[in-house]
A and B are shown apart, each in its own frame.
Chain A
Amino acid sequence: MTTPTVKDTALAPAALALGDDALVLSHRLGEWAGNAPVLEEEVALANIALDLLGQARMLLSMVGDEDELAFLREERAFRNLQLVEQPNGDFAHTIARQLYFSVYQHLLHTQLADGDGPFAALAAKAVKETAYHRDHAEQWTLRLGDGTEVSHDRMQQAANALWRYTGEMFQPVEGLDIDWTALQTAWLEQIEDVLRRATLSVPEGPRTGAWSAGAGRQGLHTEPFGRMLAEMQHLHRSHPGASW
């Protein structure tokens, strides 16, 4: 069993962090294909997944073979946030995960696009796509939060359940020239604004600190991630070199 090589460049930590976020969330969203509540939503989630997959391919290709990195790395070698590996849950959980992540990604891409680093061109491209993802998540949060009593409660539960995975997003990533404090402040403002308009309350409880879930960037992942990877990598590992 060979381990995929990651080019030893200054780019590697950030390319893996951002690339794995996009890859893993893309796979999770793809799991909705055939299961979404309405056809339009199925198409929307698949389209968002496709945008993310495109970003992942470019990022992973910067530091190695995209297929090997996606399909032959072990769980501990992935550098994605624990937030994006969380199971889809009910539709509200998927939307809460989308809201938290797309607001973060949009802010991050905006900052990266404004700079002149190695990710500026990709970020300038991706930020326009991410704006649509963010809008999609925001509109659904408003619709579910300010909807029926049942949809409100389920959206609130989902927002609460994923809250503890949001602190990790603002851990500095080596090689990215980002003002992480400003990023976190802007993220909190935007999330609080959307939740308030959706008649939801801002979750309480830790996002960082003595007890926090955050360690995906160091290769520590939550239990559902292993099963996700098993499914994602199974075909490639069972039929090495297959093509059609």
Chain B
Amino acid sequence: MVTTTTPLEEELLELAGSVPDPELPVLTLRELGVVRAVHARGADSVEVELTPTYTGCPAIEAMALDIERVLHEHGIREVTVRTVLAPAWSTDDITEEGRRKLREFGIAPPRVRNASGPVPVALGPTRTRDADPSAAGADELEAVRCPHCGSADTELLSRFSSTACKALRRCLTCREPFDHFKEL
């Protein structure tokens, strides 16, 4: 698909992307990779394409409101935020800068996967270290590192954590529990 973007659209995309994520305010929406495009529909009317991280992510409504507010403040009279599903968002859409910020915030960033498709399952029946060679797919991804001390010796406590996008882990070196932005 060939698309052309005007300088105004680029400027507004930058602006919409500068909005902080409502759940993880250290990240901007651009770093999270959820603002897909901005289309100018006239002098002061634009449409923004936003994609959800998870289908049920409740933050998407707050994101849309924040984008509308920022663009209104920039003099755009009419802002429509449209939710797009395809292509599905993946944690690979989080930028390098975004990953660095997550780590500094105390959240282990998602590991980069190149292929889409089913999530590799590297988890045993109970609390399990990823190093378990019997776990299917364990060799496909590197170990999750503790964001506090950098140790690769960490264990899974729960596949689901404070939000749908995170898993709860604990570092076996420094003993600190931490959130892991799980791969999607």
Contacts and interface: CB of A to CB of B under 8 A. Distances in A.
Interface stretch (A54-62, A152-160, A207-215, A216-224): A54-62
B86 A58 contact: no
Given A44-B158, A136-B159, A142-B125, A51 B56 contact: yes
A124 B168 CA distance: 25
Given A51-B164, A124-B87, A142-B125, A135 B54 contact: no
B21 to A, nearest CB: 17
A211 to B, nearest CB: 35
Interface in B72-116: 85-90, 116
B164 A50 contact: yes
Task: Say which size band chain A's interface belongs to.
Answer: 20 to 34
Nearest to A126: B55
Contacts of B87: 124
Contacts of A143: 125-126
Interface string A7-51: 000000000000000000000000000000000110110111011
Interface centre among A110, A132, A142 (most CB of B within 10 A): A132
Nearest to A139: B125
A135 B123 contact: yes
Interface string B54-75: 1111100000000000000000
Interface residues of B, number: 31
A129 interface: yes
Nearest to B126: A143
B56 A57 contact: yes
B184 interface: yes
B54 A54 contact: yes
A125 B88 contact: yes
Contacts of A132: 119, 159-160, 182
Interface in B15-62: 52, 54-58
A50 B56 contact: yes
A230 interface: no
Contact of B52 (A46, A54, A110): A54
Contact of B56 (A54, A120, A142): A54
Nearest to B119: A131
Contacts of B161: 43
Given A40-B168, A43-B162, A132-B159, A53 B56 contact: yes
B131 interface: no
B125 A47 contact: no
B56 A52 contact: yes
A135 B121 contact: yes
A131 B119 CA distance: 6
Interface of B: 52, 54-58, 85-90, 116, 118-119, 121, 123-126, 157-164, 168, 182, 184
Among all A-B residue pairs, the 4 with the closest Cβ atoms = A54-B56, A54-B55, A40-B158, A121-B86
5 contacts: A51-B54, A53-B56, A54-B55, A121-B85, A143-B125
Given A53-B56, A58-B55, 10 more contacts: A46-B160, A55-B56, A57-B56, A124-B86, A125-B55, A127-B118, A129-B54, A131-B118, A135-B123, A136-B160
